[in-house]
Amino acid sequence: MNAQERLLGIADDELVLGWRESEWTGIAPLLEEDVAFSSIAQNEIGHARALYQLIVGEEGDADALAFDRELEKYRCAPLVELQLLDWAHTIARRWLYEIADEIRLAALKDDPDPAVAGLAAKIDREETYHRMHAAMWHERLRDEPRFQAAVEELWPYAVGLLPSELRDELAVRTGLDLPSDNLSQAHERGTHTDELGPLWEEMTEVRRSAPAGAQW
């Protein structure tokens, strides 16, 4: 995977995860959390936007890159495509995602391209608050059987988020064992779940209703 593909993968992860997390708007378990969670979703979309803009260049159309591709051209990992409209799974994914994201951002901050390294550093600083939030919820839910089950279920997907050279660190940080060939396999980036199609349909419904280039 070249650098561009790698960035696109991260951008698509942030877009789709942000989209999924915005599904909780108005229906989160506590009003205070609803407000806080919405900021996280907005931040993810903001990161996606910045990454898309970096890829297309200053004069390029980030929206076109975000929305106007065919399904097979999206590079998001299966983890973010899943609709998880229950809190245990949602927080399990949050927690796993933030740990994985921190690991890959650390690598990106050392990128030879200063624009990439700079953006990674900016994203990383904003993610500090996401990590605090995820750790806080993990602390509170870790003893709940349904949360533990959710983490176990999503773990193979979380592994698939990272390139193989970063997976050992993920295992160390989460305290979970990497999937081996005999047991559950990681859900690798490169194929999509059957949830991405309907998501993309809904996400682009209004956009596709007008000719390309229409202003909104």
Partner 1 sequence: MAAVEVPRDEQAFLEYVQSGGQVETTDWMPDDYRAKLIKFIEMHGNSELMGVLPEREWILRAPTLQRKLALTAKVQDEVGHSQLIYRVVEDLGKPREQCLQDLVDGKAKFHNVFHYPTYTWGDVGVIAWLVDAAAIISQKALLKCSYAPYARIMKKICWEESFHILHGRDVILAMITGTQEQFELVQEALDRWWGPLMQFHGNPIPKDEDPMYLWRIKSQGNEEARQQFLDGYVPQILELGLELHDPKLRKRDDGVWEYSEPDWDELKHVVTGHGPKTEERLAFRRRFLEQEQWVRDVVLAA
Partner 2 sequence: MNEWEVFRRERKGQPFEHAGSVVAPDADFAEAWAREQYGRRGESVALWLVPRDAIRDVEDWADEFDLKYRRVDGYSIKARLKEARERAGTAPRDR
32 binds partner 2 (CB under 8 A): yes
Distance, in Å, from the CA atom of 173 to the CA atom of 103, rounded to the nearest integer, reads 10
Minimum CB–partner distance for residue 216 and partner 1 (Å): 4
**215 contacts which partner out of partner 2, partner 1, none, CB within 5 to 8 A by kind?**
partner 1
Q: Which is nearer to partner 2, 43 or 53 (CB)?
A: 43
Is-contact 67 207, C-beta < 8 A? yes
Distance, in Å, from the CA atom of 132 to the CA atom of 77, rounded to the nearest integer, reads 24
Q: Which of 85, 106, 136, 149 binds partner 2 (CB under 8 A)?
A: 136
Minimum CB–partner distance for residue 94 and partner 2 (Å): 12
Distance, in Å, from the CA atom of 93 to the CA atom of 87, rounded to the nearest integer, reads 10
Helices (H), the chain: 3-21, 31-56, 62-67, 78-81, 87-108, 114-141, 145-159, 167-174, 196-208
**67 contacts which partner out of partner 1, partner 2, none, CB within 5 to 8 A by kind?**
partner 1
**129 contacts which partner out of partner 2, partner 1, none, CB within 5 to 8 A by kind?**
partner 2
133 binds partner 2 (CB under 8 A): yes
